[in-house]
């Protein structure tokens, strides 16, 4: 039941005298309705994460790359990390 899946907004319709924004969201072929009440700035063509009939987050395409770049990045940062080891332990952030 905790499943949340990303899909693309195909169209948006106003319901309840404009109070409620409902979207048709396509999940690779299957289309379902999702409420956009928690994503006021979501628009047609945006990718959103939908959970039990409610869109809860926009998928950030820039950030989506990071998982693929992470390994390269840590490769490059290797030396910096070594420097870190000589500094006082324990990160404050």
Of the candidates 32, 7, 35, the one whose C-alpha atom is nearest the C-alpha of residue 19 is 35
Instruction: Check: CB of residue 63 under 8 Å from CB of residue 54.
Output: no
Q: Under the criterion CB under 8 A, does residue 24 sit at the interface with other proteins? A: no
Regarding beta strands 54-58 and 20-27, do their DSSP bridges make them parallel or antiparallel, or are they unpaired? unpaired
Could you tell me which residues are beta bridge partners of residue 83? none
84 φ, ψ (degrees, to nearest 5): -55, -35
Cβ nearer to other proteins, comparing 11 with 33: 33
Q: Under the criterion CB under 8 A, does residue 52 sit at the interface with other proteins? A: yes
Cβ nearer to other proteins, comparing 44 with 52: 52
Cβ nearer to other proteins, comparing 12 with 38: 38
Provide the binding-site residues for other proteins, judged by CB under 8 A.
Answer: 1-4, 6, 8, 16, 19-20, 32, 35, 37-40, 47, 49, 51-54, 56-57, 59-61, 63-68, 70-71, 74, 81, 84-85, 89-91, 93
């Amino acid at each position: 039941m905790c499943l949340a899946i990303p899909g693309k907004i195909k169209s948006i319709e106003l319901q309840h005298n404009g109070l409620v924004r409902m979207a048709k969201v396509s999940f690779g072929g299957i289309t379902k309705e999702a409420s956009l009440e928690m994503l006021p700035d979501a628009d047609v063509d945006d990718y959103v994460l939908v959970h039990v009939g409610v869109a809860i987050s926009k998928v950030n395409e820039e950030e989506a790359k990071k998982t693929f770049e992470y390994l390269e990045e840590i490769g490059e940062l290797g030396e910096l990390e070594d420097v870190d080891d000589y500094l006082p332990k324990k990160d404050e952030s």
